[in-house]
Structure 1
Amino acid sequence: MKTKAYSLRVRLLMFLVALLTIALGVQAVLSYKVLLEESEEIFDYQMRQVAQILARGDDLTSTLPNTADADEDLRFYLQIWDEDELEYASDRRHLMPRQAQPGFTNISVAGQRVRIYTEIHGELQVQVGQALGERYEVAQDVALETAWPMLFMAVLIVLATALIVTLALRPLTRLQHELTLRTPGEMMPLDIRGMPSEIVPLAEETNALMARMERAYQQQRQFVSDAAHELRTPLTALLLQNEAIRQQLDEPAALQKAVAEQRQGIQRAARLVEQLLLLARQEADCEDMADFDAGKALKPLLEEYAPLAGKAGIGLQFVERQELRVHGRPAAFAAVMRNLLDNAIKYTPEGGVVKVSIADDIRVEDSGPGIPAEQRERVFDRFYRIPGSQGQGSGLGLAIARTAASSLGAQLQLQPSTLGGLAAVLKW
């Protein structure tokens, strides 16, 4: 099931909108509280000033506010008491009870909360009241008026951020476009000049991946080319041998010899194909890694090769000086050791010795003719055989062994042996 991709641009904008919404909400609440506190201070100051002026006995008859004519948002309730008699009330529908103490207090009048300021001057008591709900409405109106510019700025910020994100992601878009236009075999590295530092690691890893793929394609092409070249010779020989058999059907002795040669040719071709497949598997490197004891993994192989060495009159020795732990693919380890044992037994004359030892490294030594120093690296090339060599090998054995050794994190080197022949050394 294909996983639906998400848009980084959309996610960034969603996060930004969420943060701005939270910030605006917090700012609106704080603004409302601050405005409410400040408006209460202003209204309280106005109420106190009005009460003190009236209490001084100034003639304000012509200037006393009429509730019916006052602005609903700024309406005051005024009452003047002389001893116990109410001399004046600005709104008879909202009469406030006489207070015993001067100052501010909150009471309920006609079903609404009212804030009252009382000023006492001798027998004269002046009361100035204001509905608290009206104060809250004023604060809310002011808060909303201040919120609109903030909301407008938030929209501008979102739009600007969307543009900035689009511009910031443009290098990724160019990178995607460049990769989309490439053909399957085009492995040229990406040009990282001018790229943002955040994208450079991605581009570098992409270049490294393409370099590995290019090497793999080159190896595959080389492998197919070499395999076709090497298979051509034994297949041609088989065709010639088959033609010889047809021509010698009436001569039993010659026919038997031709059939035997053909069998040997088939065996060589089968061995070549087997080694080609083994090399392909080693390069594919698809088996799981594991930690294992090299000595325990080697003993079954030595038991397998002991009869072959005995038949050739060769002494096969094994010395394990210490335990050696290896991390890698057991099949790769077996491929290395099989090829080294094959070569050692094949090129050691009758009466010779093949010695396998384990310490910090693994050594496979023989008392054979050895390999000249100038040829010790060349023999690791695929299908390379030493000129004048009497062996019938394909020239793939050591190439397979080195590839497998590399997958184990080891180096395969050829050195002179203390036995007089060649020493193949696996070093970690």
Structure 2
Amino acid sequence: MTQQGAPNQRAASTRGGLHRRLLLIFGMQLVAIVLACLMGYYNVAPLGAVLALIVIVSALAWLAAQRTWQPVSTLAQRVRSWREGRGDLQALSPDDHLLQRVDADVATLAHSFHDFANRIAGYNERERNFTRDASHELRSPLTVIKMSTDMLADEPELSDFGKRSVERIRRATREMEALVEAMLILAREADNGQGEQDFVVNDVLRDELADAREMLHGHPIELQFEEPARFALHGSPRVFAMLCWQLIRHASQYTGQGTVLVTVLPGVVSVCATAGADHDPQLPGQQGFEYAIARRISERFAWPLDLHVQGGNSYVAEIRFPQPLPVHA
């Protein structure tokens, strides 16, 4: 029989033992108190002795119940103090000392939590390995493609068709970079900012729109920026820029052609677009992959996102920031 099987067998033999011990303790306490009361009632013992006996019996019952409940308290303390990645999993192992003379349900809880903690640790280790490998293995070929397109663009004998192809490859590479960045942000559980800081929303949006205009070059889309308000946030400007870029892409696909307007309002950033007359707009239920990524980012960082269509062809997406900061001069 294995070591793990021995504690399980001992625990199985005491199934219901915790309840029986508690029932025995409080039953004996009740009997002792009743006898003490009868002794006082029939003047067998003085009132002081009866009260002292009741206090002693109650104290002994409390100590016995405390000792019986000790394995449950120990398990609860281990669960409460455990933090993934900050403690040794061996400390959570349900050893023989914990499982001796305990109820089978307590033993099952101890084993189940230990197994659960091991699965969580394994999952997080695989997540870290995946994000590290994906970050390297996906970014490296994208960097090679970018360098190659830059070199091809400098070729003097490149035809017009070749130049257009290079520009398409360059834009697709930038979009792929943005997508990889967004997926890695969502894949990381513990990394909620990757460089959190105070940043001005208007400044980040202005830079993001400059990059977006390059990536939308060749599309009949005009990006406009209005900023009747200015505010700052504490967080990751890269994550914020990624969220806005996904909404700009989605609005561009919605409208097909025309104008996409990005507006900064007090505590709100809105992305608006109007579908062209010859373009069949998407319905809110047909939200697409870009909006799904934006939604997941907004939920991850608690920035509520609302998408609706006004008048049948006007796309409006609003991101609300619950804790905007003032812009200091």
| Richer in helix (by share) | 2
The higher radius of gyration belongs to 1
- TM normalised by structure 1 equals 0.35
| Richer in strand (by share) | 1
- TM normalised by structure 2 equals 0.44
